[in-house]
Amino acid sequence: MSKNLVIVESPAKVKTISKFLGKDYTVEASMGHLIDLPKSSIGVDIDNDFDIKYITIRGKGQLLNKLKSKAKGADVIYLATDPDREGETISWHLKNAFKLPDNKEIHRISFNEITKNAVTNAITNPRDIDMNLVNSQQARRAIDRIVGYKISPILWEKVKNKLSAGRVQSVALRLISEREDEISRFIPKEYWSLEAVLKVGKDSELLVSFYGKDGKKLELNNEKEVDDIINTIGNNKFKVIDVKKSKREKKAPLPFTTSTMQQEAGKVLNFTVAKTMSVAQKLYEGIELPGRGTTALITYLRTDSTRIAAEAVTNCKNYIEKNYGVEYAADYVSTDKEKGNKVQDAHEAIRPTYLELAPADIKDSLSKDEYKLYSLIWRRFIACRMKPAIYDTEKVTFDANSYTFTANSSKVAFQGFLMIYKNSDDEENKNSKLPNFNVGDELEKDEFKKEQHFTQAPPHFTESSLVKLLEENGIGRPSTYAPTINTLLKRRYVTKEKKSLFITELGTAVNNIMTKAFDDIVDEKFTVNMEKQLDEVENGKIEWKQVLRDFYPKLQKELESAEKNLEKISIKEETTEEKCEKCGANLVVKYGPFGKFLACPNFPECRFTKNYFEHTGVLCPECKKHEVYKLRTKKGRIFYGCSDPDCTYMTWQLPKDATIIEGMEKYIEKDK
């Protein structure tokens, strides 16, 4: 047996780290948590100062015994679980479970990237388990467990079984509900735009936009106001009264944090938050590359820091100078000033571990999704160390009988970071150039163009925009966003159409109860303050049980009041026109592990069920008579088939060039 035992979380890391450390080290995986709170009970002894009961997770006993045996036979044990609160707690649980003698060497090591330098440096610089980190996780876990186990039974009683409440989840649901209310209350407001087409020379024209009167901004509220301006200007010429030329800088983006990676992957790649984290996990743990073996491609994926290690900064600058030119490399380090004290700087930003592994060079070794996300991370990191883009801008102001019109142009003078990366929020890079004008020049009008508009309601949240709002308000942590959104969807509190999130009737009922009875839980200020307290536990400023002592008394009063005063809410099931083939009742829509299905409302007396056929709005390309339905296999995989039982058309992707059925455009779904 090797003298040294290294325990990591994921088996995907074992081969890579073994290669780095050599034959004197045995590397084993804990497969995540082995010890946790019981599922059958709350696991937090509220009456005994919040003592926590831990048990070996069912099915993990054999693996734990194996690790105990390995630890007993090793001279030195290195606990190398992930570098965060969860990882620290897993190491603490393992150390306690091993029950090793005091003279046995057992160390905690952590690394932000799975590279030889990072791993060997961690081995040579071990540390003790950070109990502040552990206690912060214990406090978070206990609070979340208390919220879930105490409030969920009230939801079961007042609404329906199998519902759940969560600390971050409940705030996110309230935000989605408030956005729905804002949209439903929205009243469109009319406004108009006015443009003039001016003659420039013999064959050219220039479009100028109405700004106001005598240089002051003026809103156009109706057509009469527009027509009055047109009539007042009449045939008067448009005189140039000001020409301003300037340069504008657009700074390079910051490197990715977990949330900004989730947001950008959602907007650019159409990835869900959960998919982004899943693909990033594979890139972090390692991909098999020809000639290199299993290679970790990115640094740790759970971080809210934009800090970059000095060595990585130097390497990136050298790479930029070599591949793009010295003039593109920046000499400063960007920081995220807006986040202030909210940033947890334990880790670096997300970046590639080996810059020389350009996405195109390893594309054949990556899946389609891995390539997309790795390319996004790789380009973002290089861009963050490049100089700003510089635009030449020009604004020409015209006067027409005291009314002010303007024309603007913008042209890239120096690409800077735009050479390699464009944000999803970047404006279209349309270079434009105005004719050369001097103050006093006069132009004749060719025609006016007027157009009516209406203000738009705020958009529904997408996963990306919800994550952005949660992060901006300090609600939750990077690791909580994906499970929070998944829970809302799984519990059917929220549904997703295209990218947009919509609250369901069930979600509205749950939110109403939470808002009415548990105002603290759904209050974002309370949640933000709780995160700050957990951070102070992590920094050793607050004793972890004190957070629970302060939290629970008010919750207890709210629980008692809710149990006594809340009325039961009835949620109507969606009834369809389809009849039960056994008893003739109208079938209702139910939700199962793999999505919607139809069931008889007379359950349990009648147990008839059938598939729920989702419309696509597309005509079957085979029979050319019936609609294609979206269906699911018994294991939940989506496929598409003709709605006519006599037609054999079936495919795993929605036909992209098929005919759209007239009147069913709203059902068209872009296949992802």
- Whether residue 604 is preceded by a cis peptide bond, meaning omega within 30 degrees of 0, is yes
Residues in contact with 522: Cβ distance below 8 Å, sequence separation at least 6, in sequence order: 170, 171, 173, 174, 511, 514, 515
Using CA atoms, how far apart are residues 654 and 407, in angstroms rounded to an integer? 45
The two three-digit tokens of residue 311, written as one number = 């060595």
| Look-up of token digits 């434009």 | 432
- Of 25, 300, 403, 612, the active-site residue reads 300
Of 184, 209, 208, 211, give the one whose Cα is nearest residue 198.
208
Within 8 A by CB and 6+ apart from 427, the residues are: none
* Token output for 628: 């294609």
Neighbours of 426 (CB within 10 A): 12
Q: Tell me the residue length of the chain.
A: 672
Q: Which amino acid is at 467?
A: V
Task: Please state, in angstroms and rounded to a whole number, the distance separating the CA atoms of residues 533 and 527.
Answer: 10
By C-alpha distance, which of 377, 349, 350, 347 is closest to 362?
377
Q: Which amino acid is at 285?
A: E
Strand partners, 247: 392
Handedness of CA 272, 273, 278, 284 (dihedral sign): positive
For the chain, the farthest-separated pair of C-alpha atoms sits apart, in whole angstroms, at 97
CB-based contact 586:575 (threshold 8 Å)? yes
Runs of H (alpha helix) within 186-323: 223-233, 258-269, 273-285, 310-323
Task: Please write down the HEC assignment for all residues of 118-179.
Answer: HHHHHHHCCECCCHHHHHHHHHHHHHHHHHHHHHHHHHHHHCCCCCCCCHHHHHHHHHHHHH
DSSP of 2-45, one letter per residue? -SEEEEES-GGGHHHHHHHH-TTEEEEE--S-SEE--SSS--EE
CA distance 379 to 269: 14
**580: DSSP letter:** P
- Rounded to a whole number, what is the distance in angstroms from the first to the last CA of the chain? 49
Residue written as token pair 């992590």 = 538
HSE (side-chain half, CA atoms, 13 Å) at 517? 27
The tally of CA atoms less than 13 A away on the side-chain side of residue 519 is 3
CB 490 within 8 A of CB 484: no
Please say if 481 is a catalytic residue: no
- How far apart are the C-alpha atoms of 506 and 570, rounded to whole Å? 9
Cα(17)–Cα(5) distance, integer angstroms = 12
Give me the residue label for tokens 């009063």: 557
Q: Token digits for 635? A: 């294991």
Which tokens sit at 488?
Answer: 């809302």
The set of catalytic residues is: 300
